[in-house]
Chains A and B, each alone.
Chain A
């Protein structure tokens, strides 16, 4: 049992996501930073699908009702147990009555708290992830609130010794400027050649409208190629006939303020998507804060797949290190 003394800004239950319903308009939700999510579960010996808490910007204050292993991964929101700093990316053991709290965010934006056995909430369409916009999944379909009591499940695979930690080379670091890799398309043909260059050359600033649904960026205006709009497309030149939006796809309504669609976003619509963030860099998007700078870097599909293999290899090394008890 874990008692929520203070909820933080937005603390939600998330897992790997509600996969398989995209075509009916249901986005996957799930942990925004899958790398941090996966490592958090590994550090407490959980099933890889176990649910964790995703903490954004401002940490909660939680009180543990029994002895259990926990781990904290992701961005740097320095954690404390009973007021004493504790390390992230490490297996920790807490006792009954211990309180977990956090200092102000130092780097990144989201922390993942895994507890031994995972968070016990009902499966909704195969996932425990919270989708707050329609109020399903997670803890009563919403972010945690003061006074909530959450329970742990029994999705445990093995026992990991307290003090087990991830080596520094496998821990991502986060600055205030970010290079995010994209594959250009699906509708990049709608931009003028000049605007395609502008999109990749601009240092964009993340606006306060940056959450699990999407991140909006301020920078330059982009121009679309003049044309007579086809049947079914809206009248604005940024409109196309409706299409499915890839997760991580970037749309630019009216040519201003590109929006990267993320895990809680609408699954389709009628805006030209000019590029798509590669899957590994969605994890890094999750750690970007309002006011920080983003540059989009064009890569090929082959480079995107190589990046994915690299991350999977890193996760394999983390799993191996924890297995061998280092």
Chain B
């Protein structure tokens, strides 16, 4: 049974799946990520904060869409270990 873990946003702000508007998305559903890989950005107070995978896994689902507003503690992405 695969174990699911969620990556939560430590900050309120806008979630971005790309490093900049003309660049490809950091990761896609189904791709594997390693601990420390950037999976998205949160913009708040004119800062961009990198959201990183806390463990190795496979991207299961993006719970939040690109450019959606999120709260601190909200789930962004689920991973399958």
Q: B-contacting residues of A (Cβ < 8 Å)?
A: 9-10, 56-58, 104-105, 208-211, 289-292
Contacts and interface: CB of A to CB of B under 8 A. Distances in A.
A129 B47 CA distance: 20
Interface string B10-33: 111110000000000000000000
Contacts of B43: 208
Contacts of A56: 45
Contact of B69 (A58, A104, A208, A210): A208
A104 B8 contact: yes
B10 A208 contact: no
B8 to A, nearest CB: 7
Contact of B45 (A10, A104, A291): A10
A318 to B, nearest CB: 28
A262 to B, nearest CB: 12
B73 interface: yes
B12 A104 contact: no
A291 B10 contact: no
Contacts of B12: 57, 208, 289-292
25 contacts: A9-B11, A9-B45, A9-B47, A9-B49, A10-B45, A56-B45, A57-B12, A57-B44, A57-B72, A58-B11, A58-B49, A104-B8, A104-B10, A104-B73, A105-B10, A105-B72, A208-B44, A208-B45, A211-B45, A289-B72, A290-B12, A290-B13, A290-B69, A291-B69, A291-B70
Given A104-B72, A105-B72, A291-B71, A209 B46 contact: yes
A132 B41 CA distance: 22
Nearest to A102: B10
